[in-house]
């Protein structure tokens, strides 16, 4: 949706623009040509901040595209894209023939009279799985796992949704197919065949995201009491899923040096596990990638001790072409590959998949149907449209640039705060870092996260990601939210008070 021209007068309050340049009604709105952040992003963020601070009132007409471009010294295309982002995030609305207007903060974001949910007093066990998701609009989401809304307001995604909504009536009247929307599975099969060798669409089962895929795999492969190898630290949702199933977790250390292959072999020899769960590329929370040598060692251990390998591969779109892939090395014989489009397309669409050996297709589909029947064909159609879009490829390139710039800035900030990264990130969204001190009854990551809540900052303490008790105080940070001065001030205060 393109922002409408703002030249017409309709009696609404309008923001003035000086003839000599500058916007008195948008104080502090500038573009920083050295920051590495795209100009449209800077403009939309700046205006959003002014609205949230109450310095620009609801109903105010923003400057015309031409006037704001002249005032900021940017192209009109830049301002159009910024206004598009404001419209996409419902910070503003475009009225054809009248202009672009600031919306009330509550408009389009829930019930008009809805009150923010109270912030919990402590970071409980349900924090990442429920409370943080419910609070995401009311907190600085420094520890979250999603991108800011303004990073994702792409016009091609809106068009893909329109195309997906043209689903035939007879399809709306049914449940869809157990494996998922065939054209999307065919598209994925072509992509995977380039990486893994021949992969059939019938080897791919569409799911409601990666966590749903993990749940189906756990239900299919594992029984209560089974031993399972997991990385520590590792994906925070996987650990409770396995514990709910009654599995015995065998923690394989994942450090800056990679996966501990010695520990893997010792644990496998002693406990004879049924499966191993591993994120090869841009692992959450460390954002590191296994070497080709370690990847080969994992598969060699799986062959020697006869266990399946589940590769959580949701960050593959953010990886370099030559990064290790267990599924590629194995060819879907002993490896199941889990993918998702929550990071690369949209988390709200909830589309993921499992690519697996042929003999596991029917058991996985049975688990899928027992748990919740089929998945949303409308959402799967939308992802299918997106993957065929040139706009999506360009979006991923821009996203990579944004994340790289944000990550480099945050790594510099960490040094000034006395925080040390647990590992050097290879890319992606996350940096895990902390103070190299042992937790105590008065100073631990969980207690510091509780304090952060009072400052309306959501931190993700390291114990959410480890099988045992962390030896140091550390957190997972999302670099897309890492420029927040409130976060920096809070961490600086913690360091001073505890003498870290």
Average pLDDT estimate for 415-419: 90
Give the per-residue pLDDT at 174.
74
Give the per-residue pLDDT at 392.
86
Lowest-confidence range among 101-105, 205-209, 310-314? Answer: 101-105
Q: What is the CATH number of domain 159-387?
A: 3.40.640.10
Three-state SS string over the chain comes to CCCCCCCCCCCCCECCCCCCCCCCCCCCCCCCCCCCCCHHHHHHHHHHHHHHCCCCCCCCECCCHHHHHHHHCCCHHHHHHHHHHHHHCCCEEEECCCEEEECCCCCCCCCCCCCCCCCCCCCCCCHHHHHHHHHCCCCECCCCCCCCHHHCCCHHHHHHHHHHCCCCHHHHCCCCCCCCCHHHHHHHHHHHHHHHCCCCHHHEEEECCHHHHHHHHHHHHCCCCCEEEEEECCCCCHHHHHHHCCCEEEEEEEECCEECHHHHHHHHHHHCCCEEEECCCCCCCCCCCCCHHHHHHHHHHHHHHCCEEEEECCCHHHCCCCCCCHHHHHCCCCEEEEEECCCCCCHHHCCEEEECCHHHHHHHHHHHHHHHCCCCHHHHHHHHHHHCCHHHHHHHHHHHHHHHHHHHHHHHHHHHCCCEECCCCCCCCEEEEEECCCCCCCCCHHHHHHHHHHCCECCEEHHHCCCCCCCCEEEEEEHHHCCCHHHHHHHHHHHHHHCC
What does the alpha-carbon distance between residue 155 and residue 335 come to, in Å, rounded to a whole number?
Answer: 37
Residue 217 has pLDDT above 80, yes or no: yes
| ∠ Cα 126 129 135 (to 5°) | 90
What does the alpha-carbon distance between residue 347 and residue 209 come to, in Å, rounded to a whole number?
Answer: 8
**Domain spanning 1-110, CATH architecture:** Orthogonal Bundle (1.10)
* Euclidean distance between the first and the last CA atom of the chain, given in angstroms as a whole number: 50
Residue 4 contacts residue 86 (beta carbons within 8 Å): no
pTM to 2 decimals?
A: 0.75
Q: Which of 121 and 50 is assigned the larger pLDDT?
A: 50
Residue 157 contacts residue 344 (beta carbons within 8 Å): no
Average pLDDT estimate for 186-197: 92
Q: Which of the given ranges, 122-136, 142-156, 241-255, has the highest pLDDT on average?
A: 241-255
| Residue 90, φ and ψ in degrees, nearest 5 | 60, 30
Give the per-residue pLDDT at 16.
54
pLDDT tier at 24, thresholds 50, 70, 90: low
Give the per-residue pLDDT at 11.
40
Give the per-residue pLDDT at 222.
97
Give the per-residue pLDDT at 95.
77
What does the alpha-carbon distance between residue 240 and residue 215 come to, in Å, rounded to a whole number?
Answer: 11
Residue 269 has pLDDT above 90, yes or no: yes
Q: Is 309 exposed, middle or buried (0-12, 13-18, 19+ CB in 10 A)?
A: buried
Lowest-confidence range among 56-70, 302-316, 482-496? Answer: 56-70
Residue 89 contacts residue 48 (beta carbons within 8 Å): yes
What does the alpha-carbon distance between residue 322 and residue 193 come to, in Å, rounded to a whole number?
Answer: 16
Q: 46-100 pLDDT, tens per residue?
A: 888 888 877 888 888 888 888 888 888 889 888 888 888 888 777 888 877 778 8
Domain spans of the chain, in order of start: 1-110, 127-145+393-498, 159-387
Q: How does the average pLDDT of the chain come out, rounded?
A: 86
Pick the CATH number of 127-145+393-498 from 3.20.20.70, 2.40.170.20, 3.40.50.300, 3.90.1150.10: 3.90.1150.10
Give the per-residue pLDDT at 1.
40
Alpha carbon separation from 178 to 184, 202, 361 (Å, rounded): 13, 11, 11
Give the per-residue pLDDT at 315.
94
Residue 318 contacts residue 283 (beta carbons within 8 Å): no
Lowest-confidence range among 143-152, 194-203, 424-433? Answer: 143-152
Residue 114 has pLDDT above 60, yes or no: no
pLDDT tier at 14, thresholds 50, 70, 90: low
Alpha carbon separation from 363 to 178, 367, 369, 373 (Å, rounded): 12, 6, 10, 14
Average pLDDT estimate for 387-392: 84
Average pLDDT estimate for 3-21: 47
Give the per-residue pLDDT at 124.
59
Residue 111 has pLDDT above 50, yes or no: no
Average pLDDT estimate for 307-333: 94
Give the per-residue pLDDT at 19.
45
Give the per-residue pLDDT at 140.
81
């Amino acid at each position: 949706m393109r922002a409408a021209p703002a030249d017409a007068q309709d009696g609404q309050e309008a923001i003035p623009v000086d003839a000599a340049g500058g916007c008195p009604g948008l104080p502090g709105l500038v573009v920083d040509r050295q920051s590495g952040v795209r100009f449209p992003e800077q403009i939309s963020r700046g205006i959003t901040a002014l609205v949230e601070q109450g310095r620009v009132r609801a109903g105010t007409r923003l400057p015309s595209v031409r006037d704001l471009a002249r005032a900021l010294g940017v192209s009109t295309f830049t301002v159009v894209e910024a206004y598009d982002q404001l419209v996409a995030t419902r910070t503003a609305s475009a009225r054809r023939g009248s202009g672009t207007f600031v919306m009330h903060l509550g408009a389009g974001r829930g019930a008009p009279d809805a009150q923010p949910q109270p912030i919990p007093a402590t970071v409980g066990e349900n924090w990442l799985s429920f409370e943080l998701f419910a609070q995401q609009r009311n907190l600085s989401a420094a520890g979250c796992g999603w991108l800011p809304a303004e990073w994702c307001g792409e016009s091609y995604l809106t068009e893909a949704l329109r195309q997906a909504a043209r689903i035939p009536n007879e399809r709306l009247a049914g449940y869809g197919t157990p494996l998922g929307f065939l054209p999307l599975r065919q598209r994925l099969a072509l992509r995977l065949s380039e990486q893994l060798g021949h992969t059939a669409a019938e080897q791919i089962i569409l799911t409601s995201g990666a966590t749903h895929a993990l749940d189906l795999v756990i239900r299919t492969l594992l029984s209560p009491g089974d031993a399972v190898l997991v990385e520590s630290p590792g994906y925070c949702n996987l650990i409770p899923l396995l514990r709910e199933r009654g599995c015995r977790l065998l923690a394989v250390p994942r450090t800056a040096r990679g996966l501990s292959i010695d520990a893997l072999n010792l644990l496998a020899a002693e406990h004879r596990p049924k499966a191993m769960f591993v994120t090869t590329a841009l692992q959450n929370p460390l954002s590191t990638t296994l070497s080709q040598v370690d990847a080969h060692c994992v598969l060699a251990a799986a062959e020697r001790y006869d266990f399946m390998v589940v590769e959580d591969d949701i960050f593959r779109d953010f990886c370099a072409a030559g990064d290790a892939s267990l599924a590629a090395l194995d060819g879907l014989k002993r490896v199941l590959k889990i993918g998702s489009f929550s990071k690369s397309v949209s988390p709200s669409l909830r589309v993921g998949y499992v690519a697996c050996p042929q003999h596991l297709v029917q058991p996985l589909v049975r688990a899928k149907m027992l748990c919740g029947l089929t998945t949303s064909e409308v959402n799967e159609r939308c992802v299918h449209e997106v993957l065929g879009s040139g706009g999506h490829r360009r979006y991923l390139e821009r996203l990579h640039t944004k994340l790289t710039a944000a990550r480099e800035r945050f790594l510099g900030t960490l040094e000034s705060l006395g925080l040390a990264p647990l590992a050097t990130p290879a890319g992606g969204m996350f940096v895990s870092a902390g103070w190299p001190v042992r937790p105590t009854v008065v100073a631990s990551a969980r207690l510091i996260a509780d304090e952060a809540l009072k400052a309306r900052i959501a931190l993700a303490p390291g114990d959410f990601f480890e099988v045992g008790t962390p030896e140091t105080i550390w957190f997972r940070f999302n670099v897309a939210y890492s420029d927040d001065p409130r976060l920096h001030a809070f961490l600086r205060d913690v360091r001073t008070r505890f003498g870290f």
